[in-house]
Amino acid sequence: MRYLPKSQSDREAMLSDIGVQSIDALFAAIPEEYRLTGDLKIPRSYAESEIVEFFRDRAAENAQGYATFLGAGAYSHYRPVVIDALISRGEFFTAYTPYQPEIAQGTLQSIFEFQTMICELTGMDVANASMYDGSTGAAEGLMMAARVTGRHKSAIATSVHPEYREVIATYARYQGMPLATVAYGKDGRVDLEALDKAVDGETAGVLIQSPNFFGIIEDVAAIADVVHKRGALLVVSIAEAVSLGIVKPPTEADIVSLEAQSFGVPIGFGGPYCGVMATRDKFVRQMPGRLVGETTDRNGKRGFVLTLSTREQHIRREKATSNICTNQALVALMCNIFMTIYGKQGLKELAQQNLAKAHYAADEFRKNGAALVFEGAPFFNEFVIRTKTYPRAINDRLLEQKIIGGFPLKRFYPELENASVWCCTETTTKASIDAAAKEVAQ
Amino acid sequence: MNSKIRKATTHISQNEGLIFEKSSPGKKAYKLPPLDVPAVDAEEVLGKAARNDPGQLPEVSEVEIIRHFTRMSTWNYAVDHGMYPLGSCTMKYNARVNEYVARIPGLAEAHPYQPTRISQGALRIMKMLRDQLMEITGMDAITLQPAAGAHGELTGILLVRAYLESQGSPRKKILVPDSAHGTNPATAAMCGYAVENLKSNAAGMVDIASLEAQVNQDVAALMLTNPNTLGVFEQEIRKIADVLHARGALLYMDGANMNALVGKVRPGDFGADVMHLNLHKTFSTPHGGGGPGSGPVACKKILEPFLPTPVVITKPDGTLGFDYDRPQSIGRVRMFYGNFGMFVRALAYIMANGPDGLRQTTEDAVLNANYIRKHLQGLYDLPYNTPTMHEVVFSDKIQTRKGIKTGDIAKRLIDYGFHPYTVSFPLVVPGALMIEPTESESKEELDLFIDAMKQIAREAEESPEVIADAPYHTRLTRLDETAAARKPVLRWKPQAELVAK
């Protein structure tokens, strides 16, 4: 077995050192009746070349070389090759949680930089070292709001990603957290009147997403006014992190739950991604997840350590802020490198290209007879159109041209008949937009 | 440098500040292609939602980025450097082919919402991993959706709750042994259960008499790690399951230590009803500095109706698809389908091993732990004499006589070229040294480790002050964690802002 560094004689020498006759003696604690006597029924051992061939074959059964207009919570952005070159260093990817700071400064300093950049982009004071993803992060955001306010109820805008809402429903069910929903208005934004009715003196947190599932940028300031008036906290989820290059950050929020997949993380059939939570200084002790802080060593040199761990499960057990332990550190490193590559100017330019492509596409689709479902509110790189025919029929025709069309909304929003949400990023070409525009007209 | 230190030596290491300190306006590491559509004015299309202040992201060149992260990487210790005996974490070798296949474009670039007819390869991978994990655990059904071990625990306990509810009552309590991971009680609390502690017996195992006394109509489940965190196999596991089952409660197995069992025994055969697996432990997906993980949950038939949606199914035409129509499901625990990239790596690992390789892997992991135990027993206190599986737990009882604690020994081990073991866990052993070598260590590496531990035991007797100030050969000496927590500095700030304050 090529991953095992022992010869048979090594094993025999070690067994004899231990003072047992055979390896079976070391498994004697397992009741004999349960010990396996034969092989597991799984395929034989494969050579490396066979493994590569197997996965290439599986990849060939998936779409390859398609242009895509799918967004809806997972975004196709270009990934600079520097990212994989750096995260493939064994020092990063084969290390564990930096519990021993003297030999983990690489991981710790990079997380500290990550936390800083997330604060700069979201307008929050403090960010954690990552959460599993945007959906669980949003659930944790509402749970955190309940801890901060000492209240129980939550309200969620229906324009939040439907799968995020499903996850939150699962998390909330047994925590005594009733969930109210807040409808969207004609412009696709949170209906402020509905919000006003949904929030009361027992509401702990209100969750919105901006840009929302329809791609529309919410009026965060107006929403925050309504929420704060009742003493509740506003949790803003951001699923498309590149929007932060050009869209005003939700500075009126109390908690921001970001899904940073857009920052250089492979779309990879849905994961692993990178959730992050950011908040105000005053709430930091109620925030879940690992945090890195600056300190000094005995000689006064700057260094970094995991800190405020008294919030966490390994210390607090059932009284912890969350049961989260493992996070998404390596994925956060991808995001960190991505943010560093694009930097202050590049992220803006990148966002500008996304904005321009999506607006060009929306205009072309409209010229070709599709209707923009939500008029009057700003959008970033996604928009909802209504077509004369069923979106799946349009998408089927596009697939023949190796183009994956927009995401049909009816599955999650029965009221949005023949509507679909389309995404354009910097990777979307004018040629594929023009090709799609012809089909949506049919 | 101490001539007794055989594995490590001092080495030039580059200094490197924070990336923000290297930034200067106008430097770039990116280039976008020319925009092939008309540019739009952000102010015009976004109105007051347009961003004016871009935030203080750094401005640096590509070569500076490469050097920045490369220099920082050299400050880490990793499995690729050597033995990383962090107990309970299973720091085994991460095969490169796993990384290679996970990056094949048709897999890495697949969108979760692309039509299933052009996702058959991804679905096939999920189905194969699912089937093989079911065979390995002896369970009837599985979900791959949970993102990590603790997330798997949450899913598993929600399954228990949903099942019991369908039987009439969710019940009130979860029993957790005093040796358990902190995630177990934290999970139980998140699922709306009260947590009740279960004491271990003198052998470090579940005390059957206590269990009998504590299991009643209020108990939903026992969360049991097996082998437990002392590295001890619960020999009465069948009896434990029977006590629970006789009173309508279920057995949740925390599979954090499944690497001690693969190919030797199956939890589904010895009475576990539901368990999670940590693909990042047992199945070698990389730990990545703290994540990502993946925590599939396997269960018995009775719990299957409650699994999260969607589940992968074979359609009548033989193709694979997702089934969302599961009325009894606990719902989703994560968007999309889970950490798919980890499924690819774990399946590649299982394929590389095959049934004989997996069994040999388990045997070597157990052999290594017992070899360490044999050679360090006596020099370090062994609080439980019960047979050791994949990890061995000592205490610092002998060394504390000279004022040396487990945390000090750990720091000294760094000078000897090793990553420390897990310090002060499990909580049932005061001053614990929890050592898990995994199968990935050669006899030579183990001998070096044993030598280092022996040398440190001698130092503790003869010159304890040497240990108390360790490590000496690292870039930084011991860091002030108290100061970090008292006045948290959790982000960099521009000098101007600090001065203004």
State ipTM.
Answer: 0.97
- Closest approach of chain B CAs to the CA of A199, in angstroms? 24
Single-letter code of the amino acid located at B436:
E
B210 and B235 in one domain? yes
Does some domain include residue A101?
yes
Q: What is the DSSP pairing of strand B141-143 with strand B173-177?
A: unpaired
Residues of the domain holding B170: 97-350
Nearest Cα residue to A374 out of A211, A250, A155, A161? A211
Q: Is residue A164 part of a domain?
A: yes
Q: Is residue A177 part of a domain?
A: yes
Q: Looking at the structure, do residues A88 and A196 belong to the same domain, yes or no?
A: yes
Query: Could you give the dihedral angle defined by the CA atoms of residues B202, B204, B210 and B216, in that order, rounded to the nearest 10 degrees?
Result: 180
| CATH code, domain with B372 | 3.90.1150.10
* Unique residue bearing structure tokens 């890495």: B108
Tell me the CA distances in angstroms from B272 to A228, A397, B139, B242, B268, one per residue in order. 48, 50, 9, 10, 5
Please tell me whether residues A333 and A352 are part of one structural domain: no
Mark which residues 91-150 of A lie under 8 Å from B by CB: 91-107, 109-113, 115-117, 119-121, 123, 125-127, 129-130, 132-136
Q: What's the pLDDT band for B501 if we cut at 50, 70, 90?
A: low
For residues B314 and B438, membership in a common domain is answered with no
Residues of chain B with pLDDT > 90: what percent? 96
Q: A368 and A329 in one domain?
A: no
Residues A275 and A376 occupy one common structural domain:
no
Residues B139 and B285 in one domain: yes
- Report yes or no: A352 at the B interface, CB cutoff 8 Å: yes
User: To the nearest whole number, what is the mean pLDDT of chain A?
Assistant: 96
Same-domain check for residues B346 and B368? no
Residue A379, domain member (yes or no): yes
Q: Do A309 and A413 belong together in one domain?
A: no
Selected for mutation to probe chain B from A323, A354, A400 (highest B CB count within 10 Å) is A323
> What b/e readout covers B426-443, taking b as 16+ CB neighbours within 10 angstroms?
bebbebbbbbbbbbbbeb
> Looking at the structure, do residues B149 and B240 belong to the same domain, yes or no?
yes
Query: Is there a domain that residue A13 lies in?
Result: no
The answer, for A49 touching chain B at a CB cutoff of 8 Å, is: no
pLDDT string in tens for chain A (442-residue length): 899 999 999 999 999 999 999 999 999 999 999 999 999 999 999 999 999 999 999 999 998 899 999 999 999 999 999 999 999 999 999 999 999 999 999 999 999 999 999 999 999 999 999 999 999 999 999 999 999 999 999 999 999 999 999 999 999 998 889 999 999 999 999 999 999 999 999 999 999 999 999 999 999 999 999 999 999 999 999 999 999 999 999 999 999 999 999 999 999 999 999 999 999 999 999 999 999 999 999 999 999 999 998 888 888 888 888 888 888 999 999 999 999 999 999 999 999 999 999 999 999 999 999 999 998 899 999 999 999 999 999 999 999 999 999 999 999 999 999 999 999 999 999 999 999 999 998 7
Q: Would the pLDDT of B181 be above 60?
A: yes
Q: Is A222 on the interface with B (CB under 8 A)?
A: no
pLDDT at residue B12, as a whole number: 92
Tell me: do B325 and B450 sit in the same domain: no
Does residue A1 lie within any of the structural domains?
no
Smallest CA-to-CA distance from A399 within A57, A63, A122 is with: A63
Residue in chain A closest to B100 (alpha carbons) equals A52
Residue-wise pLDDT tens digits, A263-273: 999 999 999 99
Q: B356 vs A134: CB contact, 8 Å cut-off?
A: no
Residues contacting A376, CB < 8 A, separation 6+:
A186, A187
- Is the Cα torsion angle B298, A175, A282, A212 positive or negative in sign? positive
Q: Which of A338, A354, A381 is the last residue of a domain?
A: A338
Is A322 among the domain residues?
yes
The residue from A283, A305, A338 where one domain ends is: A338
Domain boundary among A285, A309, A338: A338
The CATH number covering residue A103 comes to 3.40.640.10
| Total number of domains constituting chain A | 2
Q: Could you read off the pLDDT of B297-334 as tens digits, one per residue?
A: 999 999 999 999 999 999 999 999 999 999 999 999 99
The minimum CA-CA distance between B329 and chain A, rounded to whole Å, is: 10
| CA end-to-end distance (rounded Å), chain A | 58
Q: Which residue of B has its CA nearest to A137?
A: B334
Same domain membership, residue B438 and residue B315: no
Residue range of the domain that includes A177? 81-338
Q: Let me know whether B301 and B271 are in one domain.
A: yes
A152 touches chain B (CB under 8 A): no
Is the same domain home to B173 and B309? yes
The confidence score (pLDDT) of residue B113 equals 98
Model confidence pTM above 0.95: yes
pLDDT digits (tens, 9 = 90+) for A214-254: 999 999 999 999 999 999 999 999 999 999 999 999 999 99
**Is residue B247 domain-shared with residue B129, that is, in the same domain?**
yes
**A289 and A364 inside one domain:** no
Residue B9 forms part of a structural domain = no
Statement to judge: residues A165 and A201 lie in one domain: yes
pLDDT in tens, B463-490: 999 999 999 999 999 999 999 999 999 9
Q: What is the pLDDT of residues A106-115, one digit of tens each?
A: 999 999 999 9
Chain B residue with minimal CA distance to A361? B37
Q: Are residues B301 and B170 in the same domain?
A: yes
A217 vs B205: CA distance, rounded Å: 56
Q: Are A272 and B343 in contact, with CB atoms under 8 Å apart?
A: no
Residues B311, B403, single domain; the answer is no
Instruction: Give the pairing of strands B432-435 and B392-395.
Output: antiparallel
Structure confidence at residue B2 as a pLDDT band (50, 70, 90): low
Count up the domains in chain B and report the number: 2
Mean pLDDT of B103-129: 97
State the average pLDDT over residues B10-23: 95
